[in-house]
Amino acid sequence: MIDLHSHTNESDGTCSPAQLIEEAVRAGVTTLGITDHDTFKGFDAAVPLAREAGIDLICGIELSTKLHGHSAHLLGYFFSSGGMDEFRTWILEQQAARRDRNIRLVKRLRELGFDITLEEAEARGRGMTGRPHFAAIMVEKGYVSDFRQAFDDYLDESAKGYVYRHEPPFAEGVRRIREAGGIASLAHPVRVKGDVPAMMRELADDGMNAIEAYHSDHSEADTELYLCLARQYGLLATGGSDFHGAVKPGVRLGTGAGNLRIPANLVEQLRAFAV
Ligand code: AMP
Ligand code: FE
Ligand code: FE
Ligand code: ZN
């Protein structure tokens, strides 16, 4: 089984790299892409463990970008490791932008009356502290009833606790991934704010060369639509569960919410393109 979208606790997943590899073995996933948000730390740590477990590990990343004023996630897959130095340096800059946002987010949440410090958020999120970690604290302290409410009422783009964070334009994310020899795939297109079919021309012109047609949030009809768009624009298809461990208990590695069926030849097609 193939799964090209998963997270470790180096971003917002709950499994350590070692636990994720164990989970892949248990689930029967033989080709695994680790796509942590804005970091390769989890992938780097998993490399020797995957080799030992006989898992074909694929280097990936999930970037937060700005597309038409909204946050859009962009996956990068790197099938060869050459030419990545510049990209890795750029990723560190993106992490610094999130840290700067976190300082302002704490200030805003404290203004709203919540007793939350940067230190306690960073104790959870370490190098990749993000809004989900703040949401977890808000749940734990009883400020909100659940994760959903933390985002809906305070942390979502449209909510009152939201503070701006610099995210690179979508086109820049695509360009950086392509310059590093990667494949740039629009993550979970069903979550993109706006009319994806209407935006496809522009996205393809930006250099985007794949679309995540298979994802836990996609219905069969969604998958069909995105496969059709991929064909129409000459793009590759990618797919994965978006496994986050215990924070998304309904999503399993490999099978997603029970709806994932990623074709066995998908990775061969991606590899054939990458060489
Ligand atoms: P950050 O990168 O710190 O701004 O946090 C972004 C992360 O928060 C995303 O990758 C999602 O996992 C999560 N997130 C963003 N918006 C929502 C939302 N409305 N509901 C639930 N999770 C969200
Ligand atoms: Fe995530
Ligand atoms: Fe995502
Ligand atoms: Zn993801």
Calpha distance 47→32 (Å, rounded): 11
Cα–Cα separations (whole angstroms), residue 247 to 9, 13, 15, 91, 257: 11, 7, 10, 25, 14
At residue 275, does pLDDT exceed 80?
no
d(CA 110, CA 46): 37
Classify residue 146 by its DSSP letter.
Answer: S
Residues 45-67 have a mean pLDDT of: 97
What is the CB-side half-sphere exposure of residue 163 using CA atoms within 13 A? 19
> In this predicted structure, what is the pLDDT of residue 81?
74
Average pLDDT, whole number, for the chain?
A: 95
Pick the atom of ligand 1 nearest to 11's CA.
Answer: 10
Looking at residue 125, its pLDDT comes to 85
Q: Which ligand is nearest to the CA of 38?
A: 1
3-state secondary structure of 12: coil
Q: What's the confidence (pLDDT) of residue 245? A: 96
Instruction: Say if residue 127's pLDDT is above 90.
Output: no
pLDDT at 168: 96
Q: Give Cα separations from 53 to 20, 30, 58 (angstroms).
A: 11, 9, 14
Q: In whole angstroms, what is the distance from residue 122 CA to residue 102 CA?
A: 9
Residue nearest to atom 5 of ligand 1 (CA): 131
Mean pLDDT along residues 258-273: 93
Closest ligand to C-alpha of residue 130 is 1
Query: In the chain, what is the straight-line distance between the N-terminal and C-terminal CA atoms, in Å?
Result: 23
Ligand 1 site residues (CB inside 6 A) read: 12, 37, 64, 98, 130-132, 151, 156, 165
Rg (CA), the chain: 18
- Beta strands, E only, 216-263: 236-240
Q: What is the pLDDT of residues 84-95, one digit of tens each?
A: 999 999 999 999
pLDDT of residue 128: 84
How high is the pLDDT of residue 247? 85
